[in-house]
Every structure is written in structure tokens, then in C-alpha cells.
Homo-oligomer: A and B are copies of this chain.
Amino acid sequence: MSNEKGPDHSRRKERSRQAILAAARALIAEEAYEKVTVEAIAARAGVGKQTIYRRWPSKSAVVFAALLALSEGVDGQSVALPDTGDLEADLKAVMRATAQEFADPSFDRLIRALNTEIANDAVLAAEYREKLAQPLDEAKKARLRGAQAVGQLRTDADLDLVLEVLYAPLFQRWLHRSGPLDAAYADSLVAVTLRAFAP
């Protein structure tokens, strides 16, 4: 009953879609962002430009889709914060890992590109929040709720605020390159956050 159109058809579409997004990601990861052009993406993906414009309305949209797809398959489960029972230890592990991710130049370029698109386009920003940020935040907040339940965190804490206090300094320091992103820094952010929201 299901697939009304030919299966090859759908698969063909999907294959070119993936090729385009992969090409976009590859180019962003390896080159200065402003050198990433639709023509280069099409060429790298072995695809005509029209095939890109058939699916996305603008260069920004393709790039953004490519970056969103980075985290495709991410769900509450897969990104759930570890839960060893020790909130501080769990947060430190996560923050250290996060800090380390930014050390990878490719990842760095990808996330900078993503932030550039988001910062300058409210529509993309909304899509980003809905598809990426909120699911991730929900997973994190689930862990925090657990901590509240066992008295490791103020019961009345605004969990969005907790996440901001925890992550935003790291994000800002990375975006502005205003300081080192090392384990000590990650730890101190956890410490500060826990002190601020201690029960």
C-alpha cells in the first residue's frame, strides 16, 4: 500500500539529498565559510544547481539544513546526560566533553557556520530551536529534574536558566575566542552553577 511512487524514485531523491548535505558539510568543514558556494556544493555533490534550488529556497537554507542534519537521529535517549547519581561528576564529564568538541577545527567551522546563519535569520533560528536546541535541552533538563528529586538542585530552579548559566559562558568564550576552553574551565562552570542553584 505504502510507497506510491517507485521505490527507486524515492531512493534516488534521498541519495541526492544526502549527497548535497554531505557536500555542504564537507565544504564548510574544510574551507573558510565565505568560500562555500552553491556552485561548489552542487559540483561536489555531482548534482545540478537546480536540484538544490528545487528543495531549498536559498543558500542559507541548504547550509542550515546540512548543519541541522549533523544531529539527525539525535533524540532524548541518545543525548541524555549520564546519570551516575552524582550530578556534579556527570555535569563535569559532559562539560569537559563539550569543551573538547570545539577543539576539532572541522567541528568548530561547522558550528560557527551554523551560528552565523542562526544569528542573522530569525526563521532559521526558530527552526534551530525547535529541531535541535529544545530536544537537546529537554534531555538535559530531564537529568536536572532527577537531581532536583534527590535534593542535589533547588526545587524551584528555572531549569532553562540553569542550562544557560552552565553553557552560555562556554559558548560565548568559544564564539569570541576570549579564553581557553579546558577541563578546569569546564569544571569551574559546573561548580559555579551548582553553587548558584544549590538547594
Chain A residues with a Cβ under 8 A of chain B: 32-34, 112, 115-116, 118-120, 122, 125-126, 128-129, 133, 158, 160-161, 164-165, 167-169, 171-173, 175-179, 188-189, 192-193, 195-197
CB distance from A175 to the nearest CB of B (A): 5
In the complex, besides A119-B176, A195-B196, 13 extra interface pairs with C-beta distance below 8 angstroms are A112-B119, A112-B120, A116-B119, A125-B177, A126-B177, A161-B192, A165-B192, A168-B171, A168-B172, A168-B173, A192-B196, A195-B195, A195-B197
**What are 19 A-B pairs at a CB distance below 8 A?**
A32-B120, A112-B120, A115-B119, A116-B116, A116-B120, A122-B177, A128-B176, A129-B177, A133-B178, A161-B169, A161-B188, A161-B189, A164-B168, A165-B169, A165-B192, A168-B168, A172-B172, A195-B196, A196-B196
